[in-house]
């Protein structure tokens, strides 16, 4: 089962057995990729979309000087660049963070689903709009929060997303991002990320060590960063 985690704890009950089977059938290939590998280029037309089964993927834009701004971080269960289907090309790059397992879905097969399966189409549409909701939360984070809160807010989101697919117990989870990556996500330098992580550690809220995050006080972390996960549409 490739799409086992797709919309898990979201609206999966709206996915009929037959729609799910059609979705599974639309997969062209399942692949493993190494860490730090580019999997889709900005501006080029794309003919397939990538569904993430294992690992972490990010999307980012470059400025003139080659400095990156991450615009999304994806976890298993995410249909990473499904928006490339209606758009036809991407406005950003997509790359793996750690090693990943991905499924590739050709757009011609999505065309069939669009015509034959309105219910599934609406769920696929929904899933691309979840990404848009996350984008909005990132805008809020960058526009209104100070440095500590930005970092805390970022981890709150990752934790909530991972928990929805069973990869966090609320206290621990695997996490392949470096401090430089965090800087590119939060709009700050890796040096300052380091200081903010120290602050969060010293306040006994959370810590990061060797690709692993430990959260000791999730509710304090959420309070600190004004975090409300309702935009993720996770049930229960």
Partner DNA sequence: CGCTGTCTTGAGGACGGTCAATGTTCGTGG
Partner DNA sequence: CCACGAACATTGACCGTCCTCAAGACAGCG
Task: List interacting residues with DNA (CB under 7 A).
Answer: 146-148, 178-180, 187-192, 194-195, 197-198, 210
Q: Does 19 bind a copy of itself (CB under 8 A)?
A: no
d(Cα 125, Cα 116) in Å, to the nearest integer? Answer: 15
d(Cα 214, Cα 216) in Å, to the nearest integer? Answer: 6
CB atoms within 10 A of CB 49: 23
Q: Does 144 bind a copy of itself (CB under 8 A)?
A: yes
d(Cα 160, Cα 225) in Å, to the nearest integer? Answer: 14
* φ/ψ bin of 171: left (φ > 0), alpha (ψ from -120 to 50), beta (otherwise): alpha
Interface residues for a copy of itself in 90-109 (CB under 8 A)? 91-92
Instruction: Pick from 94, 165, 186, 193 the residue near a copy of itself by CB under 8 A.
Output: 186
Q: Does 71 bind a copy of itself (CB under 8 A)?
A: yes
Taking the least distance from each CB to DNA, the nearer of 121 and 207 is 207
189-211: string of b/e by CB count within 10 Å (b at 16+)?
eeebbeebbeebeeeebbebeee
Q: Which residue has the tokens 């979705």?
A: 23
Q: Choose the one of DNA, a copy of itself, none that binds residue 106, judging by a C-beta under 5 to 8 angstroms depending on kind.
A: none
Q: Cβ(173)–Cβ(167) under 8 Å?
A: yes
CB of 219 to DNA, least distance (A): 22
Q: Does 63 bind a copy of itself (CB under 8 A)?
A: yes
Q: Does 236 bind a copy of itself (CB under 8 A)?
A: no
Taking the least distance from each CB to a copy of itself, the nearer of 123 and 196 is 123
Both tokens of 126, joined, read 């929904």
Taking the least distance from each CB to DNA, the nearer of 121 and 194 is 194
CB of 122 to a copy of itself, least distance (A): 6
Q: Does 140 bind a copy of itself (CB under 8 A)?
A: yes
Q: Choose the one of DNA, a copy of itself, none that binds residue 146, judging by a C-beta under 5 to 8 angstroms depending on kind.
A: DNA
Q: Does 128 bind a copy of itself (CB under 8 A)?
A: yes
E strands along the chain, which residues?
29-33, 38-40, 48-54, 57-62, 68-74, 93-96, 100-106, 172-174, 206-208, 212-215
d(Cα 174, Cα 154) in Å, to the nearest integer? Answer: 15
CB of 43 to DNA, least distance (A): 26
CA distances from 119 to 102, 125, 126, 226, 234 (A): 24, 10, 11, 35, 19
Sites of contact with a copy of itself (CB under 8 A) = 43, 59, 61, 63-64, 67, 69, 71, 83, 86-87, 91-92, 114-115, 118, 121-123, 125-126, 128-129, 131-133, 135-140, 142-145, 186-187, 226, 230-231, 233
């Amino acid at each position: 089962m490739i799409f086992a985690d797709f919309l898990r704890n979201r609206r999966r009950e709206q996915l009929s057995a037959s729609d799910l089977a059609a979705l599974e059938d639309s997969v062209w290939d399942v692949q493993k990729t190494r860490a730090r590998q580019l999997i889709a280029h900005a501006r080029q037309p794309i003919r397939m979309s990538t569904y993430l089964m294992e690992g972490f993927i990010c999307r980012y834009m470059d400025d003139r000087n080659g400095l990156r701004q991450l615009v999304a971080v994806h976890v298993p269960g995410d249909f990473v660049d499904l928006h490339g289907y209606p758009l036809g090309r991407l406005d950003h790059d997509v790359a793996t963070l750690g090693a990943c397992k991905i499924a590739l879905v050709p757009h011609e097969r999505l065309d069939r689903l669009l015509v034959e399966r309105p219910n599934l189409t609406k769920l696929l549409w929904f899933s691309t709009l979840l990404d848009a909701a996350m984008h909005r939360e990132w805008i809020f984070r960058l526009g209104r929060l100070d440095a500590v809160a930005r970092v805390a807010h970022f981890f709150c989101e990752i934790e909530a997303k991972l928990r929805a697919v069973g990869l966090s117990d609320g206290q621990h989870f695997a996490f392949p991002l470096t401090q430089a990556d965090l800087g590119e996500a939060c709009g700050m330098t890796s040096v300052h990320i380091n200081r903010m992580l120290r602050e969060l550690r010293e306040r006994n809220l959370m810590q990061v060590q060797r690709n692993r995050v430990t959260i000791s006080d999730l509710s304090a972390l959420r309070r600190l960063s004004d975090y409300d996960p309702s935009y993720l549409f996770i049930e229960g």
